[in-house]
Structure 1
């Protein structure tokens, strides 16, 4: 963003235009690998897949949901543990195995009767750009692919899988005047 007006937050300075866009957000869409997780995949001898999820991100997602803001997942990979994590968090909009994330995004917009400007999307790699380019607030995590960083409306101060999603949840709630009253749950 090129706006010079910045607001100090607990995460550092944020362009005022980012907070203005965040006021209109009714849906947050997250990628999984590199956003909700650190991008590492652990594979056991029997082929089982493990990922670590940050409980702070989970708390932020619960705060959004209890504040009336929808949360969705659009991810290029498919894993049962992602389905389980979504169930634990109360995320009912899950699109796995999406090589064309834009198609899933369009389906979701129609399902929820939202406009693209009411959506924020958090990504970490080039596959996320087509959706990020369409939404009201396109966000890259701090350790996203170098070609994605300059294209984002906002780059988190925190890396993927380490609380970047919580940072975004807090900024959306702050912009909407809901942060102080937000109720989450450590899950």
Structure 2
């Protein structure tokens, strides 16, 4: 069933903390918040964009580092400091003319719940909270910050025959 749903995906919406990071935040003496991101997630995000997918980031976090990271990967819509993710996401879907069935949302905690209940494919990392796991169509074997985005993006692209191995190899 999940594979059929993944074939319809055209848009991927990602939370940040607990999905693209492990949820830990290092706060410097100056008050800056530092996070680590998985480079394999980053590669999958930029590759999916090159394959024609729209990827949006909607997070409660407010960090210039997050903005810069995802702009650098080619994400065109990044929303920081959002407490009502459903309102933002539904506005995006209207603007880009996506149906809910065409949307995959990756989230890990209660601020993601409303979006995940509505979309065609709801995905959670293995360390997501139980309420989120219960409504997810797919629970990655990876924890937040350890390749969740790569896992589901690669699966989606492979099922849609958009993960091209020949792009990654060169002839000798």
- Is this a same-fold pair by TM over 0.5? yes
What is the CA–CA distance in structure 1 between the aligned matches of 2:156 and 2:132, rounded to whole Å?
21
Higher helix share: 2
1:96 deviates by 1.2
TM-score (norm. length: structure 2): 0.94
Ranges of 4+ aligned residues in structure 1 off by more than 2 Å: 180-184
1:183 deviates by 5.4
Which of 28, 42, 47 is the equivalent residue of 1:58? 42
TM-score (norm. length: structure 1): 0.87
Aligned length: 168
| Corresponding residue of 2:13 | 29
| Corresponding residue of 1:80 | 64
Does structure 1 residue 97 correspond to structure 2 residue 81?
yes
Gaps of 5+ in 1: 1-16
Which of 149, 163, 173 is the equivalent residue of 2:147? 163
What is the CA–CA distance in structure 2 between the aligned matches of 1:147 and 1:87, rounded to whole Å?
31
What is the CA–CA distance in structure 1 between the aligned matches of 2:113 and 2:7, rounded to whole Å?
22
Root mean square deviation, CA, Å:
1.3
| Corresponding residue of 1:139 | 123
1:181 deviates by 4.7
| Corresponding residue of 2:136 | 152
Gaps of 5+ in 2: none
